[in-house]
Structure 1
């Protein structure tokens, strides 16, 4: 049903005043387009986006400049990007497209902006009458446009945008609290689908501008994702499950299932037993010791034994390449929310739960963990190892075992008796 996205090849005039041109190729043939790309003085074959640029020019999304350059690092304006998105012929029109009430769109871009709205990429209700059409397009807004477009292609992508509201986002800004709530959902889906990624500094960069080369790559990725069912994207599945339940366990370790009823005494009220982490997420738990009241905000499980393409989307956040485990254990990372009753040391925190999996004794010491600036226990301790805040919130590291000799059970109980109890089958 979804064909490879091809430009309509409708030509636009080259823009004046230094604006980059995104004109269609008109009657230009594929051979001529290939020759144009090969002749760009600033796009050698070794350029990281050369293939994507070639494809984008061939399909009519871009033209070069009169001086024989492509200017791959030049920023893209909102009007220009809207005109590009308007040419995606395989993008269906949204049945709920909003009215176009923008008052600041230049004449040359009005048709493109109107079509991008009709195809669901742009939602005028998110703006206050003005698109700021000739401003450069930032990555956060790009994520909005592309993920909104996906929700028109497949309604399940729209559901995914809702499901990730409370997820853990594998980007530095999320962990440092610098990612606005209004940006989280689109950023999460953009990362979960592979449309966009974090930079070398581990930030998503919502305020960074988008370049011509990056747009060429994004168009190629969008075409691929639009042909893929959301359920087939493991990273997106993890983000959705964490958003909905607080853990990615069902995606990464589906062998773990609820403790069987036949192993309970007949007198026990089994209706209180669950494998649904959402039923205990952010609720006060029973603890072995009484140094603090305890809640679990999120629980991330990582299988370190699979090849890179099958790894958890959270692997780069918590685990270094050199890290190894023994006897088939998986990594277990839990976000804790404690309210200390009097005072509590690191060792006393470790005594709150009798579990190798839910273990608040230490935070990860990986380089990745530090680079993503994930909240670390050590930042909350005095020189004597005592917590210097009453409400420490941090991530701890444990092990999820499958070996029955190493206590593979995960058993947590709320004050009201609700029991999260799972074992590997």
Structure 2
């Protein structure tokens, strides 16, 4: 009886139903299988179309029992083989060598190709890819973001710009988002490449499933064809990272306050509409109960539709909520240095005479609670007395456009610059 000799990748595909490695798209039997409907992937499955497409393109195979196992995890070696076969992905200018010592024989070519295309950077590892381990969503975001930097240099700039941004994911607000994955997660969310789960976590430590990978293959191809500047969400994340606010994107009618509307006691040469000049600076307050800094300032337009209302809408505002009189929501992340053991929330509200940045109140939406956003309630006790000397929390206010209301926003820093903007026609 003749022995059948199978390559490592073919054996993997046949016996585990895994990914199909580099090489041809397979035999006519494989092509026929790609057209079959898997009994565990009904037409109502959220990833059904993407799974069928991924199988037709030869990235995946089904199992011999007629299943696809959409919830099964994908290993790093398998994902590298898939990424290495993306024909539209250009090669990196100076890719590193494949120095991994733990990659199985069947995956070596695919891993090398993924490295050449910029998805994997070996110097980020210590000689071992841990190739047989399941790929986590955090590492997936990193690989895909690195691949985008090869497609368009502005994605590389975007990865840098979001270093100090506010990430619309629960892990960011709870401090559980690893610093070495934060930028990639921001780019993945800003482009719509990946999203948070129902529990509002991005799930950096969760494994990546076969169904998710099938979807990501299609999404990545679309994102790679799109300029970074065409994603409003990514623009917001970049702008917040660089300046501390998304005002210029969500409320572009707010411009630098004209000199005639500035108090004569203020040196107009020190007036700016660049929020970064007062970000994290000590702000001159109306009362002396506490020192105050504004770390970030987020604007949300409840009247816009979809992504136009802000990538931060789902974090701070409950779906369907609309403000009156054309106002926008204003959410400011504040840091206080409380000077008295009896300071309360009402006194915090007196620090700034502003309807836009009001230290007395925090968002009360169900969404904000779900994202675990830090609120004033977490740092105060009965009668609103602060229990923390240096609390950091988010406030809520309104950004007005109505000419009958005060629309200017001014913050004077003790270091000198005065930030002042006002709604224009």
TM-score computed with the length of structure 2 as normaliser: 0.94
2:159 and 2:187 in contact (8 A); partners too: yes
Change (3 A) 1:175 1:110: same
* Greater mean deviation of Cα atoms: 96-105 or 186-195: 96-105
Structure 1 residue ranges without an equivalent (≥5): 1-9
Q: Which residue of 1 aligns with 2:18?
A: 21
* Greater mean deviation of Cα atoms: 381-390 or 277-286: 381-390
Q: Which residue of 2 aligns with 1:194?
A: 192
Are residue 321 (structure 1) and residue 323 (structure 2) matched? no
Change (3 A) 1:400 1:59: same
Q: Which residue of 1 aligns with 2:287?
A: 289
Quick one: distance in 1 between partners of 2:299 and 2:408?
14
CA deviations 1:94-127 (Å, max 9, x no partner) are: 0031222111111111110001001000001110
What SS is found at the alignment partner of 1:384? helix
**How much has 1:16 moved relative to structure 2?**
7.6
* Greater mean deviation of Cα atoms: 317-326 or 258-267: 258-267
Q: Which residue of 2 aligns with 1:406?
A: 405
What SS is found at the alignment partner of 2:12? coil
Which of 260, 267, 270 matches 2:268? 270
1:85-96 alignment runs, 5 A limit: 85-96=83-94
Quick one: distance in 2 between partners of 1:203 and 1:57?
29
Q: Which residue of 2 aligns with 1:152?
A: 150
Structure 2 residue ranges without an equivalent (≥5): 1-6
Quick one: distance in 2 between partners of 1:49 and 1:16?
21
Q: Which residue of 1 aligns with 2:367?
A: 368
**How much has 1:19 moved relative to structure 2?**
4.0
Change (3 A) 1:169 1:353: same
Quick one: distance in 2 between partners of 1:311 and 1:418?
30
* Greater mean deviation of Cα atoms: 217-226 or 38-47: 38-47
1:410 and 1:422 in contact (8 A); partners too: yes
2:292 and 2:337 in contact (8 A); partners too: yes
1:238 and 1:248 in contact (8 A); partners too: yes
2:99 and 2:122 in contact (8 A); partners too: yes
Quick one: distance in 2 between partners of 1:197 and 1:290?
42
**How much has 1:57 moved relative to structure 2?**
1.0
1:202-221 alignment runs, 5 A limit: 202-221=200-219
Quick one: distance in 2 between partners of 1:402 and 1:34?
61
* Greater mean deviation of Cα atoms: 40-49 or 231-240: 40-49
Q: Which residue of 2 aligns with 1:50?
A: 48
Quick one: distance in 1 between partners of 2:268 and 2:13?
72
Quick one: distance in 2 between partners of 1:402 and 1:275?
17
Quick one: distance in 1 between partners of 2:196 and 2:170?
9
2:13 and 2:20 in contact (8 A); partners too: no
**How much has 1:66 moved relative to structure 2?**
1.9
1:37 and 1:43 in contact (8 A); partners too: no
1:20 and 1:76 in contact (8 A); partners too: no
Q: Which residue of 2 aligns with 1:347?
A: 346
**How much has 1:417 moved relative to structure 2?**
2.8
Change (3 A) 1:207 1:18: farther
What SS is found at the alignment partner of 1:365? coil
CA deviations 1:108-154 (Å, max 9, x no partner) are: 11110001001000001110010000111000000000000001000
Quick one: distance in 1 between partners of 2:89 and 2:133?
25
What SS is found at the alignment partner of 1:164? helix
Q: Which residue of 1 aligns with 2:383?
A: 384
* Greater mean deviation of Cα atoms: 165-174 or 319-328: 319-328
Q: Which residue of 2 aligns with 1:245?
A: 243
2:191 and 2:231 in contact (8 A); partners too: yes
Q: Which residue of 1 aligns with 2:392?
A: 393
**How much has 1:231 moved relative to structure 2?**
0.3
**How much has 1:53 moved relative to structure 2?**
0.6
1:38 and 1:44 in contact (8 A); partners too: no
**How much has 1:347 moved relative to structure 2?**
0.3
Which of 112, 118, 136 matches 1:138? 136
1:247 and 1:299 in contact (8 A); partners too: yes
Quick one: distance in 2 between partners of 1:395 and 1:268?
28
Q: Which residue of 2 aligns with 1:170?
A: 168
1:54-133 alignment runs, 5 A limit: 54-133=52-131
**How much has 1:27 moved relative to structure 2?**
4.6
Quick one: distance in 1 between partners of 2:13 and 2:216?
25
What SS is found at the alignment partner of 2:382? coil
- C-alpha RMSD over aligned residues: 2.0
Quick one: distance in 1 between partners of 2:415 and 2:185?
36
Q: Which residue of 2 aligns with 1:358?
A: 357
